[in-house]
A and B are shown apart, each in its own frame.
Chain A
């Protein structure tokens, strides 16, 4: 298995633009997580899904952030409109049923100018 796959690896955009980050979890994993990593705040859980259903989105900072998981093999995190303070590394992670171990993707380095 190729592991958790995220795209793009790097994204540079201008303030006000829409940004869409993509994630493909490991096949067979039924939980998917979106984390944001910054120097100041460390690893923050934004939202997680279980069996494609959002379970906890309390970490989503503002209404500008939204996440979807239309099927078991794909999820998106959208920021609209983007702001410079959204600049961070966004990680997607997945885990298999009954197991706690998280497998992280390579992350998306987002820079909002």
Chain B
């Protein structure tokens, strides 16, 4: 099955700096890569996603890049703010007619310091 590895497990940045979280996946058939943000005590929520036919996607201060050849994808947050502090999960998915099975990375605890 799919295996997703995520690094780093913790990341501390100063407010205004950029943060980068990296993930690798094992199954070359994976074709959908979402990122979820989970604030303390709350549910994971989708913040951005990318499909395998796209190399990069941006949404305001966040962006994702995908390298299919190397089987890795990254989340970039620019101009970080205290409210960006949370756990971020990457995931990989093979879209089939039979379902939608997401495999998550182990998460990155991001702390944005004032």
Q: What is the minimal beta-carbon distance from A49 to any residue of chain B, in angstroms?
A: 8
Chain A residues with Cβ below 8 Å from B99 are 31, 48, 50, 55-56
B98 adjacent to A50 (CB under 8 Å): yes
Is A34 located at the chain interface by the 8 A CB criterion?
no
Contact with A along B77-108 (1 / 0, CB 8 A): 00000000000010001010011111111110
Can you report 28 residue pairs joining A to B where beta carbons are below 8 Å apart?
Answer: A31-B100, A42-B89, A42-B104, A42-B105, A43-B104, A44-B104, A45-B103, A48-B100, A50-B100, A55-B101, A56-B99, A58-B1, A91-B43, A91-B44, A95-B100, A100-B32, A100-B93, A100-B95, A100-B100, A100-B102, A101-B46, A101-B49, A102-B34, A102-B44, A102-B46, A102-B100, A104-B45, A106-B43
Contact with A along B34-47 (1 / 0, CB 8 A): 10000000111110
A55 adjacent to B98 (CB under 8 Å): yes
Is A105 located at the chain interface by the 8 A CB criterion?
yes
Is A107 located at the chain interface by the 8 A CB criterion?
yes
Docked complex: B11-48 residues within 8 A CB-CB of A = 32, 34, 42-46
Q: What is the minimal beta-carbon distance from A30 to any residue of chain B, in angstroms?
A: 10
Q: What is the minimal beta-carbon distance from A26 to any residue of chain B, in angstroms?
A: 13
Chain A residues with Cβ below 8 Å from B43 are 91, 104-107
Q: What is the minimal beta-carbon distance from B99 to any residue of chain A, in angstroms?
A: 5
Chain A residues with Cβ below 8 Å from B49 are 100-101
Q: Give the 3 A-B CB pairs with smallest separation, nearest first.
A: A104-B43, A43-B104, A42-B106
Contact with B along A25-59 (1 / 0, CB 8 A): 00000010100000001111100101000011010
Chain B residues with Cβ below 8 Å from A43 are 44, 89, 104, 107
Q: Roughly how many angstroms separate A109 CA and B99 CA in the complex, as a whole number?
A: 27
Contact with B along A69-113 (1 / 0, CB 8 A): 000000000000000000000010001000011101111000000
A45 adjacent to B102 (CB under 8 Å): yes
Q: Roughly how many angstroms separate A45 CA and B100 CA in the complex, as a whole number?
A: 11
